Structure 1
């Protein structure tokens, strides 16, 4: 693996950023991922549904398709593992690679590791790294240490996304059902699923599952690959290694120029050194000057002639300056650093009180007296606390015994008054409603008006309502009333009744009188 060829900005990221990096790689190589995915999984989907139709059990085909997801997830992992290094494979290369690439560890992920919550993080270890089983086991343990929880959360979130997509597909079908037929359609669908579901319904449900898996699984594998890259960057310092490799490349490009500069500046120095060696052999009196240097210089001491060449120089001043330089206390100086380290020992250090000053008899007596007073105050406080606890025992002691709970006030049951209406509507509907309103029974009055309005609805719209028809069904039936005024008045009556029956909002006396007047004018009821 050539990490210097990575096509991503490699750096130490948080686990959330690493998962976002993986999903960005999936979006970048979307065409190279989904084309082979569809070409490979769609025939498998068709064969499994033919098997379910032959066995008359489509649950088996749906379960097998779900169980084979780790084998299909090799496709996005193969693409992004090469696309991240700038070598995106073609559709044909990806399909041909599925026959012989990545089968070494897939058997375990189709077996005992199928339900592993960190499958997206650990699969790249088996498919992309070499080594035997023990080495891969150690690598999985090292890579999954700090990112196992994030990988498990990723699995949980992606599973919910797939489930919600399937439910959304089913709900999308019912969005095209008219509102009037929605309840009957839901009832028929429930009975169809529970009793004898046809093959086309099972195939449609399996198709929704395949579509959800096709949309979510590549992102699941990509996010796991991002976690894998981030863990290797943290453990193996890939970002530091890449920085050093780039630095080496830049230095290697400047190597010829550096060699030329060294040759230009080093040639005069070599010539001067050769001239100094010749002068040293001819003039032996300079040996005394070299021996006059401090002993710490040793055989590596440099003579003035070697330093200044053949030009005349003040050797006496140079020797004095060199001696002062060697006498500098900062040259070769040493320092001692003392650190306090806690000693792990159970033995208490012996205290020596011999160096402590004697406080004297007066100060010692004062200290003892102060300690006695403080101890006495503490004992007095403790006694007062015990007395207070004893006096209040009848309140706090039952709590320790378990029978000190406060008995809750038993609320009186809510009084419900049943609506008692006559079997046959009275001839004087409006008069009966006014009488009930004056007697303090407004809900009875509104219920009587609502029931009478339903009778008018049935008569004028020529419809038959089922027993126990709801307000919504009555409103839908009122659309067949020929006059718009009748429809508006019936909708207003239903609204008055619903506010009173379900929300407890009663109309005022003026609103009730206005409703009575409008019913009298429109429906022709006697006042």
Structure 2
């Protein structure tokens, strides 16, 4: 595997970042993944469901489609594993490669490993590494050692997404059902599912499950492949290997320049090495020969000024008597005595004691001057602290003012804290609700009576009267008998039997206006109410 040709950045990622990288790879190669899936999935779905329709066993068709989901994972894995190396296969290349690619390590995932929650992480081991069965087992254990929890969680999340998609597609069907018929549609759908589900409904459920699996499967395989890459990077340090390979390539490009620099520098080094032995004796002679115009001490002082000798540590092996004097056992007693006499020489370590007399006045004057100088230094140091001192005084003044305000206002807030203060309470206005009920007996002139109620400030009672009269007129024209306490939905369904479209539309309008007023508190305008009453009176031929 040429890991240096990967077009993704290999680095130490967390498992969550690796799974996000896998979903991004699936989106990048979407066309190359989903086209082969459709080429394979559509004929397979048609064949399986046709057999199920013939045998009337649609559950077995769904089970077989679920069992063959590793085939879709295999197609997505083939595309993504080639795409990360910059060699995205075409759909027909992917389909041709499925005839001979990786079948030796794949049959287990259509058999005893089908229920494994780690399929997305372990499938690349079987299909991409090409090792024998014993080695594959060891590799699976190594890859799974620290990522098994995330692989299982990935399987659970993808399964949850598939269920949510199926439920959402089923719920979308009921979004197109009118609100008035929604409850009856739910009851009919539930009865159809629990009692005897027709074949077309079973086929529709299988279509939803196949669509959800086809949509989620590439993301599942891509996230598992990215987890596999992340584990290989952690175990085999692929990112470090890629860095070294790139460093090697840069050094190979710079090798001619390095050789040229070495060729140019090497002769100069040889010349310098040849000149050094000749200059050393001359330098030693110059250092050893004293100046004719000065003493030996001046010559040594000048030499020390020109070149400072590095200090030699005490434990240096070259700083021993054996090295200095030579010989296996030199006698250093005389040397130590000479050194002791040299340190005792007054010219080497001169010491003397000087005593002077000073008057007390002068001493007191000097002490006062010293004290005044110290106080001046303290004032100078204290000068920059003056703004901070002023700020501190202001803060203390603010605290004092706050305490004073609290003391002055204490008669008010102390009573409030104790709960004994007088509180102003406002009596809430009583809510007056008008009990609206649909009249049992309709007057002979319902439109005129409804206008009177509207003028009296009882609009809901007026609308209830119009609705009740409309129900009676609808029952007569549709030739139906409504049960006691019939709901608005039942009345709407019964109104479909009226022969004229104008009657059906007008009845639906009065039902809608009544529902808005009764349940949502939305009353029509006065002109709209009057126009509705007039239209009902003319259409249903009420007495004026």
TM-score range for the pair, normalised by the shorter chain length: 0.5 to 0.7
Partner deviation per Cα, 1:12-46 (whole Å, 9 max, x = no partner): 34444433322222233233323332333334333
User: TM-score, with normalisation over the residues of structure 1?
Assistant: 0.60
Residues 1:122 and 2:139 are matched in the alignment: no
Correspondence for 1:141 = 144
Question: For the structure 1 residues 207 and 158, does the alpha-carbon distance in structure 2 shift closer, same or farther, using more than 3 Å as the test?
Answer: same
Partner deviation per Cα, 1:81-116 (whole Å, 9 max, x = no partner): 122112333445433443443345544444554344
Question: For the structure 1 residues 315 and 171, does the alpha-carbon distance in structure 2 shift closer, same or farther, using more than 3 Å as the test?
Answer: farther
Secondary structure of 1:132 counterpart: helix
Aligned pairs (5 A) from 1:84-123 = 84-103=84-103, 105-111=105-111, 113-123=113-123
Correspondence for 2:18 = 18
The structure whose Rg is larger is: 2
Secondary structure of 1:213 counterpart: helix
Cα distance between partner residues in 2 of 1:142 and 1:330: 58
Q: Is the 8 A contact 1:126 1:136 kept in 2?
A: no
Q: Is the 8 A contact 1:26 1:219 kept in 2?
A: yes
Aligned length in residues: 408
Cα distance between partner residues in 1 of 2:248 and 2:48: 55
Correspondence for 1:202 = 202
Question: For the structure 1 residues 3 and 328, does the alpha-carbon distance in structure 2 shift closer, same or farther, using more than 3 Å as the test?
Answer: farther
Q: 2:135 aligns with which of 132, 136, 148?
A: 132
Structure 1 vs Structure 2 CA RMSD: 5.0
Residues 1:327 and 2:311 are matched in the alignment: yes
Cα distance between partner residues in 2 of 1:459 and 1:24: 66
Question: For the structure 1 residues 186 and 33, does the alpha-carbon distance in structure 2 shift closer, same or farther, using more than 3 Å as the test?
Answer: same
1:214: how far off? 1.6
Question: For the structure 1 residues 211 and 442, does the alpha-carbon distance in structure 2 shift closer, same or farther, using more than 3 Å as the test?
Answer: closer
Correspondence for 1:227 = 227
Q: 2:467 aligns with which of 450, 453, 456?
A: 450
Gaps of 5+ in 2: 289-299, 317-434
Cα distance between partner residues in 2 of 1:491 and 1:192: 29
Secondary structure of 1:229 counterpart: helix
Residues 1:42 and 2:59 are matched in the alignment: no
Residues 1:77 and 2:77 are matched in the alignment: yes
Partner deviation per Cα, 1:397-451 (whole Å, 9 max, x = no partner): xxxxxxxxxxxxxxxxxxxx996965x64657689989999xxx99888655532
Correspondence for 2:393 = none
User: TM-score, with normalisation over the residues of structure 2?
Assistant: 0.59
Partner deviation per Cα, 1:168-226 (whole Å, 9 max, x = no partner): 44455566778888777666655554444444443343233222222220121112222
Question: For the structure 1 residues 144 and 436, does the alpha-carbon distance in structure 2 shift closer, same or farther, using more than 3 Å as the test?
Answer: same
Cα distance between partner residues in 2 of 1:475 and 1:140: 65
Aligned pairs (5 A) from 1:383-422 = 422=440
1:251: how far off? 0.4
Q: Is the 8 A contact 2:10 2:239 kept in 1?
A: yes
Q: Is the 8 A contact 2:29 2:80 kept in 1?
A: yes
Cα distance between partner residues in 1 of 2:256 and 2:125: 42
Q: Is the 8 A contact 2:450 2:463 kept in 1?
A: yes
Residues 1:252 and 2:224 are matched in the alignment: no
1:452: how far off? 2.1
Q: Is the 8 A contact 1:82 1:89 kept in 2?
A: yes
Partner deviation per Cα, 1:369-415 (whole Å, 9 max, x = no partner): xxxxxxxxxxxxxxxxxxxxxxxxxxxxxxxxxxxxxxxxxxxxxxx
Question: For the structure 1 residues 482 and 111, does the alpha-carbon distance in structure 2 shift closer, same or farther, using more than 3 Å as the test?
Answer: closer
Farther-moved stretch of structure 1 (264-273 vs 61-70)? 264-273
Farther-moved stretch of structure 1 (2-11 vs 123-132)? 123-132
Farther-moved stretch of structure 1 (128-137 vs 210-219)? 128-137
Gaps of 5+ in 1: 277-303, 333-416
Secondary structure of 2:145 counterpart: helix
Aligned pairs (5 A) from 1:304-343 = 305=277, 308=279, 313=283, 317=287, 325-327=309-311
Cα distance between partner residues in 1 of 2:22 and 2:179: 43
1:73: how far off? 0.8
1:236: how far off? 3.8
Question: For the structure 1 residues 447 and 112, does the alpha-carbon distance in structure 2 shift closer, same or farther, using more than 3 Å as the test?
Answer: farther
Secondary structure of 1:8 counterpart: coil
Cα distance between partner residues in 2 of 1:426 and 1:97: 84
